[in-house]
Amino acid sequence: MFKRLPGDEARNLVTTTPDTAVVFRPAVVTTPAILTLLIFAWRVIAGCVRLVWRHPVAVLVTLTPGALTLAYDWQTGLMLLAPVPTGLLAWAVTDRASFTRVIGLRLLAWWRLVCIYRRHWQAVMIVSGLGRHLWGRDYLPRLGKVTCTAWADLVTVRMLKGQSVKDWADRLDHLAQGFGAASCRVAVTRGGRLQLTFPRTDPLAVPLAALPLPDAPTVGPVEVGKQEDGQPWLLKVHGTHVLVAGATGAGKGSIIWSTIRGLLPAVRAGLVEIWALDPKLMELSYGRALFGDRYAATPEQCADLLDQAVNVMQTRAARFAGLQRSHTPTVEDPFVLVVVDEVAFLTAYQADRQLKQRISAALATLTTQGRAVGIGVMAALQDPRKEVMNIRNLFPDKIALRLDESEQVDMVLGDGARDRGALADHISPVPELGAGVGYVRLETSPDPIRVRAAYVSDSDIRDMATTFAAGKDAA
């Protein structure tokens, strides 16, 4: 009935009666009391040191009244501390911006760390699947520093061993809802560490008026709008190619015209030439006077103009060969920006097969060889599918405005862009809220940046055409 167990564990059995469950006598290890006290004391000291290191200001504010009360009395302590809140209040009233930057945002960061992130950290990590509960113990990613900006919380996190960025990117909705934010974005800061961005407000909710014309001629980067962090959005056009994708009414014209507006002083100085291809006859025709004879509307004219750009590129390449590897704009060799509105009309939707092949070949040639000799292409389209735009990967810098489907985000910005927070398919279709809002992914950075382009109205375009008409002498 009873078999001898391996390791002679039979002697530890309390009973072997058939109707009674087999119970093993647990092994008890007695820990010396002095060791327990030492471990407890070490944890208390380490916790105090960690508290002072992480929150020096809060500790100082808390301990100072008590220290003054013990050293003197509470009346003296109160009298000595009274000037501090009075001075802070005066500072906040007289210079609110600097007070918010130095004091206010730090207090807000501490408050949100304690009341939002640390409070709900364990529950959100376990429920979202980013933490693990094994053998009665929770293994959680480590919550780091919380920094507050004017519009968002920046939370640093140390991942668990064996986790990847994709594990977090797949759970951005869980994180956003768990911490009460509208959205969440993830970026890698260094090995094993992430930065989560939780927006509190939307600084791009209000449309931007047309930006002032630059005081001095510039080839770029040109200011075309504003980034989500409040910094100017500077778009590089010289030495690269730019693809702009967005649904109807998403604001592609805002990016095109803001770019042209920023280059106009350089156009007048002879450092830039803008060649316009406008097959729809609806966007670039408003400023046709700006382009002179470098404007094309019909497919035949567009093909001829692209062939001219290829000839300019090849001529420069022959002259630059063995002498220089990058282009510096001069009056003799200006930077040429080829602007193509609705490029799919000239490629995928072109009925004339011969014209379609000419245009596709010219665009492919310019995007593969043009930027080294000062030829750049800015192309706009609505449908980013490969069969519509088969050379989209030849554009180093890409901009995704409002798109109809989530799959289109990765088609435009590259694989994994939506997982990193580029929610271009969630941009509002209401023009006042979403026109010109998009995400930029640059050749030098895999992380998408949320931006909004300034709106250049019809009257602004007409004023530009009147002032900077091609061939017109400088005022």
Binding-site annotation, residues for ATP? 246-253
Dist CA 202 CA 152 (whole Å): 9
Strand residues in 14-164 grouped as ranges (E): 132-134, 137-139, 142-148, 152-158
**CA dist 226 to 223, 279, 386, 440, Å?**
8, 29, 30, 12
> Where are the alpha helices (H) located in 269-298, listed in sequence order?
none
Angle between helices 299-320 and 353-369 (to 10 degrees): 30
Reduce the DSSP state of residue 154 to 3 states and report it. Answer: strand
* Residue showing tokens 């409002």: 402
Task: Provide the 8-state DSSP code for 464.
Answer: H
Instruction: Name the helix (H) or strand (E) containing 309.
Output: helix 299-320
Q: For residue 227, give both structure tokens.
A: 């980034």
Where residue 265 falls (left for φ over 0; alpha for ψ -120 to 50; beta otherwise) is alpha
Contact 403, 429 (CB under 8 A): no
How far the first Cα of the chain sits from its last, in Å, is: 110
Its sign, for the CA torsion 119, 123, 129, 132, is positive
Report the distance separating Cα 88 and Cα 130, nearest Å: 41
Residues belonging to the binding site are: 246-253
Find all residues with CB under 8 Å of 366, minimum gap 6, and list them: 241, 306, 309, 310, 313, 338, 375, 377
Burial label, 257 (beta-carbon count in 10 A; 0-12, 13-18, 19+): buried
